[in-house]
Homo-oligomer: A and B are copies of this chain.
């Protein structure tokens, strides 16, 4: 087996490209901003250029393939991004555009390498499956907590795509049908309670209502600068409001996941993404709520952890797509 593969993680803010070993270690990595305004042609050209660079950091003929993850609904068999609300506003034939760029660049190290493609949450789930859980595990749920809330499902050691590749939309499971309107057009989606923006918004509302909190001091009075990182720092210093917000977020996550635990009886739930950096602040109330709300046996069976790969989960997971059995390459 060839020692390396290339991972590409395309996010709304940044793109990461890395050369990764078969056991998931990063050999070299480049990160650069996603210049959405410049259009997908230029973005893909820049990606191919960076892929050339990281491949050159390893030995000749040592690369098994290239894997990519990107946000949005992806019709994964064709490698098309069908709908990606935070990025491109039309269907983009990613795979064929990338293949064309590789051909026109003419880098012999890239020509003919198999390309793998999946949505960012599925890639994260695959990364977590490879790196965060024991080898005996067959089923897991990965929840990516950021601005949006995504999900990936591993069943029988494979990424589960469903009928058309849209499976895993955990963020749009309905927590409260009478709840606030979500970007997806629906009401009361879990994302509206657990997404980074919603957490910050709820906290802001409490402060404006007169709740005391050290958050104002931490952002030097500029409440518009508050992030989930601020909330983490405040909670760690004992701030009551911040702690309450994390507890509440963990509880909302736990209620939604209890349903999934009842439905899928998974072996592991792995949390990833920026908001998951809150660690036990979110994990403890989430675990407690799952225990309260899911059936006793299924709740006992599931282990809930936070991915140890942090920000690298996407790029490592993408590189390891090459290692899937029966994976479709392009």
Which residues of B lie under 8 Å from residue A174 when comparing CB positions? Answer: 255, 258-259, 293
Which single residue of chain B is at the shortest CB-CB distance from A173?
Answer: B259
For the complex, give the distance between the alpha carbons of A266 and B165 in Å.
Answer: 10
Q: Which of A4-12, A18-26, A153-161 contacts B (4 or more CB under 8 A)?
A: A153-161
B-facing residues in A22-75 (Cβ within 8 Å): 73
Which residues of B lie under 8 Å from residue A184 when comparing CB positions? Answer: 295
Q: Determine how close the nearest CB of chain B comes to the CB of A212; give it in whole angstroms.
A: 28
Q: Within 8 Å of chain B (Cβ to Cβ): is A164?
A: yes
B-facing residues in A72-97 (Cβ within 8 Å): 73, 82-83
Which residues of B lie under 8 Å from residue A255 when comparing CB positions? Answer: 174, 177
Q: Give which listed residue, B164, B170, B177, B267, contacts A301 with CB less than 8 A.
A: B164
- Chain B CB within 10 A, most for which of A73, A260, A262: A262
Q: Within 8 Å of chain B (Cβ to Cβ): is A302?
A: yes
- Tell whether, in the assembled complex, residue A162 and residue B265 are in contact, meaning their CB atoms are under 8 Å apart: yes
Q: Determine how close the nearest CB of chain B comes to the CB of A317; give it in whole angstroms.
A: 20
Q: Within 8 Å of chain B (Cβ to Cβ): is A167?
A: yes
Q: Determine how close the nearest CB of chain B comes to the CB of A275; give it in whole angstroms.
A: 20
Given contacts A174-B255, A177-B255, are A301 and B166 in contact (CB under 8 A)? yes
Given contacts A155-B155, A177-B255, are A170 and B263 in contact (CB under 8 A)? yes
Interface string of A240-268 (1 = CB under 8 A from B): 00000000000000010011101111110
For the complex, give the distance between the alpha carbons of A302 and B184 in Å.
Answer: 18
For the complex, give the distance between the alpha carbons of A2 and B74 in Å.
Answer: 44
Q: Within 8 Å of chain B (Cβ to Cβ): is A14?
A: no
Q: Within 8 Å of chain B (Cβ to Cβ): is A172?
A: yes
Q: Give which listed residue, B73, B172, B267, contacts A163 with CB less than 8 A.
A: B267
For the complex, give the distance between the alpha carbons of A162 and B302 in Å.
Answer: 10
Q: Give which listed residue, B161, B163, B177, B263, contacts A173 with CB less than 8 A.
A: B263
- Tell whether, in the assembled complex, residue B297 and residue A73 are in contact, meaning their CB atoms are under 8 Å apart: yes
- Tell whether, in the assembled complex, residue B301 and residue A169 are in contact, meaning their CB atoms are under 8 Å apart: no
- Tell whether, in the assembled complex, residue B265 and residue A263 are in contact, meaning their CB atoms are under 8 Å apart: no
Which residues of B lie under 8 Å from residue A263 when comparing CB positions? Answer: 151, 153, 167-170, 173, 260, 263
Which single residue of chain B is at the shortest CB-CB distance from A169?
Answer: B262
For the complex, give the distance between the alpha carbons of A267 and B260 in Å.
Answer: 19
- Chain B CB within 10 A, most for which of A164, A172, A263: A263
Q: Give which listed residue, B167, B175, B259, B297, contacts A265 with CB less than 8 A.
A: B167
Q: Within 8 Å of chain B (Cβ to Cβ): is A13?
A: no
Q: Within 8 Å of chain B (Cβ to Cβ): is A203?
A: no
Interface string of A124-156 (1 = CB under 8 A from B): 000000000000000100000000000101011
Taking A73-B295, A174-B259 as known contacts, 19 extra A-B pairs with beta carbons closer than 8 A to each other, sorted by chain A number, are A73-B297, A82-B297, A155-B155, A155-B156, A155-B160, A162-B266, A162-B301, A163-B266, A163-B301, A166-B265, A167-B264, A167-B265, A169-B295, A174-B255, A174-B258, A186-B258, A259-B259, A260-B263, A263-B263
